[in-house]
Amino acid sequence: MKNGILFDKVSFSYEKGSRQLTNINIQINKGAFLGITGVNGSGKTTFTLLMNGLIPQQIKGSFKGNVYIDGINSREKPVSYFAKSVGLVFQNPDFMLFNLTVKEEIEFGLKNLQLEKHKERISKALKTISMAGYERRDPQTLSLGQKQKICLAAVLAQDPDYIVLDEPTAMLDYRSAVNLYKLLQSLNEQGKTIIIVEHDTDFLNEYTDQVIVLNQGRIALKGKTKTIFSDTKKLEKIGIKIPRLKP
């Protein structure tokens, strides 16, 4: 299939470490709103790093199988190629922030992707995350939650088809987290594919249409959110919070 992200018999282990992902097979269709959950160390972040070629292009290890992004094998093009279509918001914002101002930070990605209209893109993205006017701030002087929002703004400014977010709400207050999900929902309605790593199954239950539960580097459960979350016994066994079902 040409559209979407396809994992075909993917296994991966970091250079130092045992097997982190084992035999991952999944087709993520374009337009999906997919949640990924699982306990600490189950492989969620590793999974996201496979979605734009960072593994194996920049992060080395033993990689078996293939990942296809819109039909292109992730081994065959540089990360900068996939970055045009797949925007990744990292779990640790310090991984991304190294420029002197918020503006330069966001602009860095725009330049890399040779996108135009920097000023408009930057101010629109900052407005979207309720941080209008932060262009000249030094990212290092921001709170963790604000840093994470800047990382999100950098990705939004690039307007990619796929938006992959690794625990974006972990450092956000409740209102910001709800606002983020509402934003993602509207982006999804506009055709963006959203892939989000999240421990809070209530958010996944309310907003996503499909979920994957990872357990010890394997896909333990995958399918429609409502179906997966109705099997509370399995969730409990894996160590996942059972969502409060909507009344």
Of the ranges 39-47, 128-136, 172-180, 238-246, which one interacts with ligand ATP (CB under 6 A)?
Answer: 39-47
User: Measured from the CB atom, is 123 or 216 closer to ligand ATP?
Assistant: 216
User: Measured from the CB atom, is 122 or 164 closer to Mg ion?
Assistant: 164
Which of 108, 88, 83, 111 lies closest to 98, judged by CA? 108
Among residues 40, 114, 141, 190, which is the contact residue for ligand ATP, using CB under 6 A? Answer: 40
Which amino acid, one-letter code, is at 58? Q
Q: Does 168 bind ligand ATP (CB under 6 A)?
A: no
Question: Is the peptide bond preceding residue 78 cis, with omega within 30 degrees of 0?
Answer: no
DSSP three-state, residue 8? strand
Residue 24 is inside which H or E element, if any?
strand 19-28
DSSP 121-152: HHHHHHHHTT-TT-TTS-GGGS-HHHHHHHHH
CA dist., res. 84 & res. 125, Å (int): 17
CA dist., res. 221 & res. 102, Å (int): 39
Report 76-115 residues binding ligand ATP (CB under 6 A): 91
Please enumerate in sequence order all residues whose Cβ is within 8 A of that of 162, keeping only pairs 6 or more positions apart, or say none: 5, 51, 69, 85, 86, 87, 192, 193, 195
Q: Does 38 bind ligand ATP (CB under 6 A)?
A: yes
Q: Does 46 bind ligand ATP (CB under 6 A)?
A: yes
Q: Does 179 bind Mg ion (CB under 5 A)?
A: no
DSSP three-state, residue 160? coil
Of the ranges 3-11, 63-71, 86-94, 239-247, which one interacts with Mg ion (CB under 5 A)?
Answer: 86-94
Among residues 44, 103, 147, 192, which is the contact residue for ligand ATP, using CB under 6 A? Answer: 44
Q: Does 45 bind Mg ion (CB under 5 A)?
A: yes
205 contact, one of ligand ATP, Mg ion, none, CB 5-8 Å limit per kind: none
Minimum distance from residue 98 beta carbon to Mg ion (Å)? 21
Q: Does 16 bind ligand ATP (CB under 6 A)?
A: yes
46 contact, one of Mg ion, ligand ATP, none, CB 5-8 Å limit per kind: ligand ATP
Among residues 4, 5, 10, 20, which is the contact residue for ligand ATP, using CB under 6 A? Answer: 20
Which of 194, 178, 237 lies closest to 213, judged by CA? 237
Q: If binding means CB under 6 A, how many residues of this protein chain bind ligand ATP?
A: 13
Q: Does 92 bind Mg ion (CB under 5 A)?
A: no
> What does the binding site for ligand ATP look like in residue numbers (CB under 6 A)?
14, 16-17, 20, 38, 40-46, 91
